[in-house]
Amino acid sequence: MPPAPAVPIPRALVLGSTSVYRRELLSRLRLPFAVEPPHVDEDPLPGEAPAELARRLAAAKAAAVARLHPAAVVIGSDQVADLDGEPLGKPGNHANAVAQLRRMSGRTVVFQTALTVMCQESGFVQHDLAPVRVRFRALQDDEIEAYLRAEQPYDCAGSAKSEGLGIALLDAIDSDDPTALVGLPLIRTCRMLRAAGVSVF
């Protein structure tokens, strides 16, 4: 009797991130996963466009964690707010957040959310970008202050936390992957996990 065909062993899934938002989003898929901080320098290179910065950092995060977990399927993601070609990162504090929101008032900002999925052992790697166009209302200073005091979004790119009170700052969101603005485009994530051999169901 011929031997039974080998059944592939499911690979571990690792999220290369320190973001609580990405962790919450990935948990929606109900897959077991570990979290590993990627320890990547997130400073932009001179003249680097926001989309390219997001792509580079997503790939760097995934690669850094894949070196630690070579047999696992690793997810790396990064988001950069793009204001007319200028990258806006995480404000870090209240004063910077006020300045960012004043600049974005009445304007359209593209939140460039990049994604990389890779497995070092199998050689699998895919990259994608989920741009989200966000049109901000003309914001009053008291609105900005009330929002920041309520949400304290100092760890969010462009100070935008649309899943909370930040939605009231906006006129419109245009995206083909609804969770991309929060930090992890789950439609693309599912597509890339399937390609990597991870069964979402």
Q: Which residues are catalytic?
A: 78
Give the span between the Cα atoms of 19 and 21, in whole angstroms.
5
Nearest to 169 by CA among 134, 127, 194: 134
- Whether residue 29 contacts residue 192, with contact meaning beta carbons closer than 8 Å, is answered with no
Q: Which residues contact 136 (CB under 8 A, 6 or more apart)?
A: 101, 104, 105, 106, 107, 108, 109, 169, 170, 171
Give the span between the Cα atoms of 66 and 41, in whole angstroms.
16
